[in-house]
Every structure is written in C-alpha cells, then in structure tokens.
Amino acid sequence: MGVGVGVGINVGTTVGSAVAVGVGTGVPTGSVGPTHPANITDKIRIAKINLIFIIPSPERVMVLVINNFIDCDAGVGFIINALHQSSNMAEGSKKEMKWIYEEIVGRIPPFSLLSYKYSILLQLLFLLVLGLILGFIFGLKPVSLIYGSLGILVAVLWSLLILQLGPTLRKFRAPLSKDENELLERYKGILFHRNHYEAIPGLAIFIPFMIYIFYYDQVLLGTWLGDAPNLILLLFVSLLIWDICYRMGLGIWTSILALWRSFELKKIAERRTELEHTPYTELRALRKLDINNVFFGLISLLLIPLLKSDQMLVTMIFSFMIFITFISVISAYVVSKVPWLPPDIYNLVNGSSFSYVGTSLKGVPHITPVVYVFDGQRIFFNTSKEAKKLRILRRNNKVAFLIDKRDMSNIYENKAVLFTGEVKIYGLWDIPLRFIQMLRARKLFLLKYPDYTKKYASSELPKAWQLTPIIARILVEVKPVKILYWRGAKQISVPV
C-alpha cells in the first residue's frame, strides 16, 4: 500500500474509543466501537505502523496513534486508539490564575457575583460614576472631569488587554515536548505567583509618583482638583492613580516575562526530536498576547494630556511606551520564529519537492500536483490565474494539502503529511501589506526550483501560464487547521 492522495480516513469523534478504518477492498469503513485494540492485536498482528493525527484546535489537542497494522480476512484494517491529551484536563482542580488586585476586589459584592470579565468592567464603571458624582458635589471644573474620565478610560483599555492573558494561558494545551511544557508552566507560575510579585512594579511607580505630586510638584494636583481639594477627592484620586500605576506595573511585568519566555522557548525548540513540538495555535496565542502588549504601550499616550504641565512626567510616559512596545515587538518576532511543526514533519515538508492540492466544489473533488515552498512558518504554492483549482478555491477556500515521500521497495519507509484547512489567496491589495512576505516566497521558489523557473521564463507560453506574479501566477498560502502524519514501521513515542 503506497501513501498518496487516495488514502481515505474516517475518524469518529468519540474520544477514547477504537475507530476501525478500512483501507483496501471489501473492508467496511467508519466502524466505531468501544473495542480495545489489545483484544484484537493479541490474536493477529503483522507489523507495526504508526499514524499521528494532530488537531491544533484552540480547545484541546487530539493525538490519534494508529499503532497496529493487522491482516483481516476481507482486506486490510487499522485500529486507531484515540488519546486525548489536554493541559486543562484537570482545570477544575486548579486554582484560577488571578493577580492580587482582582483577588481582593473579587471578594467584594457585587463584584464577586459576576464573572471575571464583567467584574472588572463594573469596577471601572463604578469609579467613573463615583468620580462624576464627586466632581459635581465639589464643583470641579469640566476639564477636571474630562481628565478623570480619560484616566479611567486608560484603565479600562488596559484591563481589557490584560483580561485576555489569564484565560488564554488557562486554556493553553501542554506542548508535546517535556522541556517546552516545563518552561511554559514555569512562565505561568512566575506570572501568577502566589506571592504576587506582579504588584512590585506597580508599587515602584505609585509610591514615587505620590510623593512627587504631593511634596514636589503640587501644581499638577492643583490643575486636577483646584487649590484646596477636599480630603474625599484626594482619596478618590489616589485610588485612581493606584489603579493606573498598578496596571502600568502589570504591563512591565508581563512584557519582561514574555521576552524571557520567547527566547527560552526558541532555544529549547532547537533541541526537539521526532514529534516534539508546541502546537501552532498555542504559538499563535502567545504572539497575540505580545501584540496586545504593544497596544498596551501605545494606550499609555492617552495619559499625556493629564500630565502635559510636567515635562518630566511626559518624558516618563514616552519612555514607558517605547520600552513596552519595543520588548513586546521583539518577543512577538522571536515567537514567530519558533517552529510549529515537529522535527519529523518539518524535515519532510522542508525536504520534499512536490505536493498535491485537493479541493472540492459542490461535492466534486479536484486534485492536482503542485510545487511549493516552506519558509519555516508558512507553506506557499503558486498557480496559474486560469487554473481550475484557483477558481474552486475562490468559491470554497477549504483545502487538503498532501506532501509524501515514497519508497517503492519498502512501503514501511513511506512518509506523508496531510494538512487540511483553508487558503489565503494573495492579490493586488496584499502587495502593500505583505510585500516583504511575497518577495521572500518568490525568492524561495527561485532558489528551490531554478531549472523549473528558468524554463518557464524562457519558454513561449500563453500569458496565463507565464511566471509574472499577480498578473499570471497567483501566490496561495496554506493555513492548516488539522495535520495528519504517518510514516513506516518505526515505533513512535509521543511525549505527553
């Protein structure tokens, strides 16, 4: 049995059940039942074969290991043992990851009665309403009310960004690499430490700032509250200042830890073996959190109108913004360079020359061979502007992308990987936004297929089949949702 496009697989959804899949003639497919594989393989077994089915869904990771190749009377069958592995299987027994501020306020009704997200939003809405009421009671100028509202707006925007960190990391699936898993667990442990070290940067900002505005630059306080502010107003403003300083400290805390995490993860990823990896969706989630920190830094510029009368404080806000933005961009870049494929699959994709693109429209399948390139993170192929597969993909962007390595003398040396998901079709509007990426893909094609590109460039071909980017040839990116990998008789160990 060779490995190719024609291999059919029908996988049941019941986790932990055995799924029998027929391959060949006379074997019923899709038979699902609770039969344990050992009950069958104790009786008949010819050879070991392995199939790894990796589903990078946001909720969990599913690894299906086909580990028994058996001979049946009617043909050839596989027994699939579904192994469900998830970093949040024991989520219910774990303590929810929160910082000290959220823990304290979360114990006070009515905030304790709401979900984490709505609790924080209600806290800030309460501050806004209370601030406006106090402003009217004590006759503050409209500009003071605007300044206070702007400060609360900054706290709200920062909270919405920070709010994504805890839930994202709680749902984070354990990498199929012991070292990478230990690193990410350590990262989460430091980030949400029980000693609440995250409050230290906030205190380091809050205490000097309060001393400065009360003892060294009372002009700023007078601009906000007038010449003789009431004690109640001072307490309220102090609470708001603490809210802002605490979140500034969180921005520093999360950004520095993210930078450390990214460099360590990339270093560990270089030592992977076989099927060790961190799933694609998890790496993408880490990168998204880093991008959130970039916006966190930019939002701090909204504080400048409140501090415009003090040049030193304005300079400090700019310094804060540059610091957070700079290290977050670096962290996001480093994470984007961490391979999302296990070494075995990475080498297969990187070393093969041809692939097969499967599309479908109105139930009619269409399969064609293509050349492709892999830049370490993305898979690209190009096609003629008049190609049928392109017309199909414009109407249905679902795709199956198969890369295989065949050994006709020994079928147990065959390897293949099947990516199923969606495609991104590049057009004129992508040139200004993704010009460098498109240029890099073109360079990879020229380096990988010099004879092919040279012949096409020199041949008298119809315009539709020439190599002119966008005009004649369209660049297509494969965006995997599921990855199906199989190889020959070598025993595979999947790290938990």
- Over residues 222-232, the pLDDT tens digits come to 888 877 788 88
110: cis peptide before it, omega within 30°? yes
Q: Where are the domains of the chain?
A: 1-85, 92-336, 358-496
Sign for the CA dihedral angle at 346, 347, 353, 357 comes to negative
pLDDT for 385 equals 84
Work out the number of other CB atoms within 10 angstroms of the CB of residue 59. 11
Contact, 372 vs 381, CB < 8 A? yes
pLDDT of residue 31: 33
Euclidean distance between CA atoms 374 and 115, whole angstroms: 43
pLDDT at 194: 85
Residue 109's pLDDT is: 75
CA 231 – CA 8 distance, rounded (Å): 75
Question: Does 358-496 carry CATH code 2.30.110.10?
Answer: yes
Nearest by Cα to 205 from 301, 320, 102, 304: 320
Chain-centre distance for alpha carbon 134: 44
Point out the residues of the chain with pLDDT beneath 50: 1-94, 464-465, 470, 490-496
> How high is the pLDDT of residue 261?
95
Cα three-residue angle 9-10-15, rounded to 5 degrees:
120
Q: Identify any residues that bridge with 81 across adjacent strands, giving them in sequence order.
A: 18, 65
CA nearest neighbour of 307 among 397, 211, 234, 209: 209
Residues 6+ apart with CB under 8 A from 359: 365, 366, 367, 389, 392, 393, 396, 398, 399, 400
- pLDDT for residue 460: 55
- Per DSSP, 200 falls in state H
- pLDDT tens for residues 196-252? 888 999 999 999 999 998 888 778 888 888 777 888 888 988 988 998 999 999 999
Q: At what angle do helices 218-225 and 231-269 cross, to 10 degrees?
A: 110
